[in-house]
Amino acid sequence: MKKTKALSLAMATCCVIAAPAQAGWKLVPGGRPWPVGAAQVTPMSDWNQASAKPGKQGVAWTHDGFELNGLEIFVAVPSGQPLYRERSKKRNPMPKYQSSLLLPELSDFFERSFRTQYDVSDFTVKEASSGSLGGNPAVVLRYQYSVPGDELKREGVARLTAVNGKLYAVNFFAPTLHYFETGRTEAEAIMDSARF
């Protein structure tokens, strides 16, 4: 009897352990405005929104999985808070946004934040220019990066602005081969559609 109970318990434990973890995903339908915190954006096509947030004020979307493309939207990040979620305060602290930063300084803040979040070994700003986000003046960054142990080059485009002392940012990133150019047009259209 004891052996039967022990065997049943062991089999039940194996079944529980072997069950796949369910990632939380939400469909973001294309063609209509979608709320993101106090902002809204309008994607042209359907996206998948991960339940795990990249930061307290952020959401992360993908078409094909984050290794192939990702779109991050950060809304109203207050002064003194990091863009991305803090992972290791002692070993590798996340930079904190300061409302006193000027638009050109947001590019350095973004680079330091992105490097820390994704453990980036090589980050190069290919182009920094002025643009708009949500009808406000913004800095636009086109960048290239790679991660340790992976020779695949990746690119990204980000727009950052500050409104009433709070940071707003939209960042699209993907491998240079195929995925970046394929997704960039829609990502920039989403950035153009942002309203807050």
**11-33 tens-digit pLDDT:** 444 444 444 445 689 999 999 99
Whether residue 10 contacts residue 2, with contact meaning beta carbons closer than 8 Å, is answered with no
Per DSSP, the three-state class of 96 is: strand
Q: What is the mean pLDDT of residues 150-162?
A: 95
pTM of the predicted model as reported, rounded to 2 decimal places: 0.87
pLDDT band per the 50, 70, 90 thresholds, residue 88 = confident
Rounded distance between C-alpha atoms, residue 63 and residue 58, angstroms: 17
Domains located in the chain, CATH noted: 24-193 (3.40.1000.10)
* Backbone conformation region of residue 159, classed left if phi is above 0, alpha if psi is from -120 to 50, else beta: beta
Q: What is the mean pLDDT of residues 117-137?
A: 95
Show the CA angle centred on residue 174, arms to residues 185 and 148, nearest 5°: 160
